[in-house]
Amino acid sequence: MLLGVIADDFTGASDIANTLTKGQGRQGGMVTSQYIGVPNYNAAAEIEAGVISLKSRSIPAAEAVELSLAALSWLKGQGCRQFVFKYCSTFDSTEKGNIGPVAEALAEALGVRGIVACPAFPATGRTVYQGHLFVHDKPLNESGMQNHPLTPMIDANIRRWLQRQTQGRVGLVPITTVRRGTAAIRSTLQKCADRGETLVIVDAINDNDLVRIGRVCAKAVLLTGGSGIAMGLPANFITSGLAAGKPRVFRGRQGPEAILAGSCSGTTRDQIAVHARDHPVLAISVDDVMGGRTTVSNIVAFVTANHGKSPLVYTSGTPEQVAEAYQRYGREIVTERLDRLFAETARQLVNGGVRRLVVAGGETSGAVAQALDLGDLAIGPEVSPGVPILLSRRREIALALKSGNFGSPAFFKEALLALAAGPSR
């Protein structure tokens, strides 16, 4: 294994695994595998890039650091020479962490400074300019992310936000420097390191900026960012002859299907509304779950009765409704109960024969993936930018794990069709 990624949630892990597998241009990408948590076995010999999926975005910072260092240790044991700490392209975190504390802990463990921090993902409208993060034409704190129930982003200046989470100073490579080319970026990063700046926000507005940054980081031990930061990395290994640049081959999965949605993002709520026009949907209220009126058996019965009709089950409410439920029952209690409900539902569905599974929401995806005993996952084609098909090598199922804000209005229908598609390259 050449490249190791530590991702702070499961949908983000599949996002960057897709970027590494796809690569850029005709060179192709790297042979990539995604792992559910830190494995207790060695990677297959042909794997060139390994992505470890952690559920560490919203847990206490000290626990996130401990998990991330364990992942680093395993990846080092597989022979990795470069590491990426992957977080969301909307920089999901609080003023206390977890992005800053984890990044600093990894940097200390590897003995490096002047580390790139770039969440930009232009394909989905996320860009960084003068250290400020934008979602399409809106600053991050006006994009809807300010209402996120777990990690409300109330400041678009991610340099300032990251500074609140870290012990050391945070540097900046502005877009004017990025556009001057690789030598200018490399020189500025070195100056940041010499000043003792461990993490450095690097501006990026389009894919060319990200590829240029990746080229600069060919020999960097550690990078941090969204999946876009990995766009230029496969070419570094392929050009050097270390990676083969093989195209991916996908064979679809046939059989019963299910969609589980636990995201409260506006995008996911719109996708549910579109899907409900032509397919059966089951809305689950938090009150019914907490009161024991909605159970795993109810949900499994609904899905089973609607096999072949693309059934969808969701708890997605507005941010205001989510906040009200948290206030009534307690945030940790609600999230734990819903995660457990979806996890056990998915386990029973797969054990009962479901072979195509679509999950929306990072926390929900993490709970489901951990419950299914999937082993390592092969990376298939994209359903939409940032959302690849995942194939379990241990179980005969195909999955699509979607971050809340990703996907077209008809995403759920498109995803189920993609999971069943025939051979493709």
Domain boundary among 239, 267, 297: 239
**Is the domain of 46 the same as that of 75?**
yes
**Is the domain of 396 the same as that of 288?**
yes
The answer to whether the CB of 388 falls within 8 A of the CB of 414 is no
Would you place residue 403 in the very low, low, confident or very high pLDDT band (cuts 50, 70, 90)? confident
Q: Which pLDDT does position 424 carry in this prediction?
A: 45
What's the rounded mean pLDDT across residues 199-216?
A: 97
Would you place residue 264 in the very low, low, confident or very high pLDDT band (cuts 50, 70, 90)? confident
Looking at the structure of the chain, the number of domains it has is 2
In a domain, 373, yes or no: yes
- Nearest residue to 64 (alpha-carbon basis) of 77, 55, 72: 55
Residue 380 CB partners (closer than 8 Å, separation 6+):
248, 250, 388, 389, 390, 391, 398
**Is the domain of 203 the same as that of 261?**
no
**Residue 361 φ/ψ region, left for φ over 0, alpha for ψ in the -120 to 50 degree band, beta for the rest:** left
Would you place residue 422 in the very low, low, confident or very high pLDDT band (cuts 50, 70, 90)? low
**Is the domain of 270 the same as that of 202?**
no
In a domain, 244, yes or no: no
Q: Is the pLDDT of residue 265 over 50?
A: yes
H or E element that contains 415? helix 411-420
**Is the domain of 223 the same as that of 265?**
no
Edge to edge, what strands does the sheet with 138-139 contain? 126-129, 132-135, 138-139
In a domain, 195, yes or no: yes
- Residue 157 belongs to what domain range? 3-239
What's the rounded mean pLDDT across residues 114-123?
A: 96
% of the chain surpassing 70 pLDDT: 99
Would you place residue 248 in the very low, low, confident or very high pLDDT band (cuts 50, 70, 90)? low
- CATH number of the domain where residue 369 is located: 3.40.980.20
**Is the domain of 222 the same as that of 315?**
no
Cα angle 274-335-97, degrees, rounded to a multiple of 5? 105
In a domain, 252, yes or no: no
% of the chain surpassing 90 pLDDT: 84
C-alpha dihedral sign at 349, 355, 359, 363: positive
In a domain, 330, yes or no: yes
Domain boundary among 175, 209, 239: 239
**Is the domain of 211 the same as that of 308?**
no
What's the rounded mean pLDDT across residues 209-224?
A: 97
Amino acid at 65: V
**Is the domain of 190 the same as that of 109?**
yes
Q: Is the pLDDT of residue 316 over 80?
A: no
- CATH number of the domain where residue 118 is located: 3.40.50.10840
Query: Token match 């994009």: residue?
Result: 143
What's the rounded mean pLDDT across residues 164-176?
A: 96
The answer to whether the CB of 253 falls within 8 A of the CB of 396 is yes
Q: Is the pLDDT of residue 244 over 70?
A: yes
**Is the domain of 226 the same as that of 292?**
no
Q: Which pLDDT does position 286 carry in this prediction?
A: 92
In the structure encoding, which two tokens stand for residue 198, read together? Answer: 């461990």
- The backbone torsions φ and ψ at residue 401, rounded to the nearest 5 degrees and listed phi first, read -110, 120
Q: Which pLDDT does position 359 carry in this prediction?
A: 96
Mean per-residue pLDDT of the chain: 94
In a domain, 245, yes or no: no
Measured between alpha carbons, how far is residue 121 from residues 125, 225, 257, 279 in Å?
6, 9, 30, 32
Q: What is the C-alpha R_g of the chain?
A: 20
231/235 Cα distance (integer angstroms): 8
**Is the domain of 170 the same as that of 302?**
no
266/288 Cα distance (integer angstroms): 23
The answer to whether the CB of 115 falls within 8 A of the CB of 200 is yes
C-alpha dihedral sign at 171, 175, 176, 181: positive
**Is the domain of 42 the same as that of 158?**
yes
Q: Is the pLDDT of residue 86 over 90?
A: yes
Amino acid at 191: K
Would you place residue 106 in the very low, low, confident or very high pLDDT band (cuts 50, 70, 90)? very high
267/260 Cα distance (integer angstroms): 15
In a domain, 250, yes or no: no
Q: Is the pLDDT of residue 306 over 60?
A: yes
In a domain, 248, yes or no: no
In the structure encoding, which two tokens stand for residue 421, read together? Answer: 């598609």
In terms of pLDDT, which residue wins out, 250 or 137?
137
**Is the domain of 228 the same as that of 321?**
no
Domain boundary among 239, 268, 283: 239
pLDDT in tens, 31-61: 999 999 999 999 999 999 999 999 999 999 9
